[in-house]
Structure 1
Amino acid sequence: MVERSRSGKKPVGAVTRGTTNPNRLRRQDRWIAHTLARPLRLAAEPPVAVDLGYGAAPWTAVELYGRLARVRADVRVVGIEIEPDRVALAQRWARPPGLSFRRGGFEVPLDAGARPLLIRAANVLRQYDEEQVAAAWSLLCSRLAPGGLLVEGTCDEIGRRQVWVALGPEGPRTLTFAARLAGLERPSELAERLPKALIHRNVPGEPVHAFLRDFDRAWAAAAPYADFGVRQRWIATARALAADWPLTDGQSRWRLGELTLRWDAVAPRG
């Protein structure tokens, strides 16, 4: 069970498998840099971002730092891992003060008074039980700075298919699907990458199941657009979905193989 550490010293959580590859989280990085661009630029102090559970190698933290630094040059990215050997290995990639690594878990240990504008936890909760997700979300969101964002979700081994939920201090806000469109036969193939809170809810009677059903139907109806490229087919699919589902993005994001909708439209029942 996910709980706060009583001592405040022992990391909260369990060691992940650690699977990682360069550019695995590029799609998430791109979305984060776009979504948080304004808060990053307006932050009075150098903003802090956390890559939680970066795995056996620190590629995702290194890449997140590079992409956020293009938006705000003095951003601070902290890679946090519960496994000490992984933290020790990562030190060779540290670039103080911009990029650093430390041991920790869901308690998100940072310097005194520091509150992150971003916590990204990719492929971390996948190994936990669904019943543990709410407590993990609550603990992580409690560490956010005002206006901060928690991004939690999963992806395949090389990042071609990803789904993530974005949460603010008040709770979940949106769900995003992102894919390399070449080779995608139907959008529901992304179901295997749903975050832990939803992956067992893809069954009749649940909103996420209804959404994926409509996603596939809109994709099939947009088949004629494939003559103009798979990107145009995805855009046409999103336009059709927008008639019945509360999408929060538009064509500029759809062109990238993304689609985001409000969380309350797909939240689990019961």
Structure 2
Amino acid sequence: MRKVKPVGLVTRGTTAPNRLRRCDRWLTGPQAWRLRTVDRPLVVDLGYGRHPVTAVELHHRLRTVRRDTEVVGVEIEPARVADALHLQRPGLSFVRGGFEIPVSGRVQVVRAFNVLRQYDEAHVAQAWPRMQARLAPDGLVVDGTCDEIGRVASWVALDAGGPLSLTVSLRLADLTTPSVVAERLPKALIHRNVPGERVHAFLAALDEAWERASPLSAYGSRQRFISAARALHDAGWPLHDGPARWRMGEITVDWDAVRPGS
């Protein structure tokens, strides 16, 4: 494949073990079918940061679905790539690159976590199409953000045609209000959490449902969150999946229900 100049900027690159476990759990759960529809799935961990631990974990977790999954860690900073090379193994490699994704063949999953968060909002409109253009049929781009230890996370899923959904994933044990995720929304939405925007209405409705379900706290935070998610569903919010995912503190809604206003 012809080498091109990496597209993007060097980011802070902070990361930690197990930080992206919530997204990985979603990829190996509701999205696992995407790995089963192709021969030898190719997955990219884009912008893995100063330490390649998230790419190593992704490789391990996805291989529980397909043993022949190939994971490529892509980083724009040459030193970070050089530091990761000793971890290469069959099915796991590291290359220098950016949003152009310099790998051979079409990609089944691009996971770009805590990358666009460090860019201006205008860059989203440029980066999304670049990543989407590298997708295989049934491929998926995951543009997400999480806190430093992965207890609060959210991500937008996109296929080649455009955004599909927003997922919010929260650690329930010490959850105060679901809208704590507002500080960790993907770049396309984080500045839209204001009155009049759809994502603001969604988080407000989730908070209200969580508050109304407070009597269920005696039975545990999982039961409370399931009740809140069910209330949203019954109120007409287009949620994906069901109680099996809600009990994990994970809720996914159609993109059209939260997309930014014009």
Supply the distance in 2 between the matched residues of 1:136 and 1:161 (Cα, whole angstroms). Answer: 24
Structure 1 residue 9: Cα displacement:
1.5
- 2:83 aligned counterpart, secondary structure: helix
2:76 equivalent to 1:76: no
2:183 equivalent to 1:192: yes
Supply the distance in 2 between the matched residues of 1:47 and 1:202 (Cα, whole angstroms). Answer: 36
Structure 1 residue 39: Cα displacement:
2.6
User: What is the letter of the counterpart of residue 238 of structure 1?
Assistant: A
User: What is the letter of the counterpart of residue 245 of structure 2?
Assistant: R
2:245 equivalent to 1:253: yes
Q: Report what 1:173 is aligned to.
A: 164
How does 1:117-266 map onto structure 2 within 5 Å?
Answer: 117-243=108-234, 244-266=236-258
- In structure 1, stretches of 5+ residues that fail to align are 1-6
Supply the distance in 1 between the matched residues of 2:123 and 2:49 (Cα, whole angstroms). Answer: 20
How does 1:19-34 map onto structure 2 within 5 Å?
Answer: 19-34=14-29
User: What is the letter of the counterpart of residue 139 of structure 2?
Assistant: G
Preserved CA contact (<8 Å) 1:249 1:261: no
2:49 aligned to which of 55, 62, 66:
55
- 2:168 aligned counterpart, secondary structure: strand
Structure 1 residue 35: Cα displacement:
2.9
User: What is the letter of the counterpart of residue 33 of structure 2?
Assistant: R
Structure 1 residue 150: Cα displacement:
0.3
Structure 1 residue 8: Cα displacement:
5.1
Q: Report what 2:81 is aligned to.
A: 87
Q: Report what 1:103 is aligned to.
A: 96
Q: How many residues align?
A: 260
User: What is the letter of the counterpart of residue 10 of structure 1?
Assistant: K
Supply the distance in 2 between the matched residues of 1:238 and 1:10 (Cα, whole angstroms). Answer: 45
User: What is the letter of the counterpart of residue 251 of structure 2?
Assistant: L
- 2:180 aligned counterpart, secondary structure: helix
- In structure 2, stretches of 5+ residues that fail to align are none
Q: Among all aligned residue pairs of Structure 1 and Structure 2, give the percentage whose two residues are the same amino acid.
A: 61
Supply the distance in 2 between the matched residues of 1:132 and 1:41 (Cα, whole angstroms). Answer: 32
User: What is the letter of the counterpart of residue 12 of structure 2?
Assistant: R
Q: Deviations over 1:112-150 (max 9, x none)?
A: xx1110000000001111111011101100100010000
Q: Deviations over 1:66-120 (max 9, x none)?
A: 0000100011000000000000011111112x10000000000012xx1110000
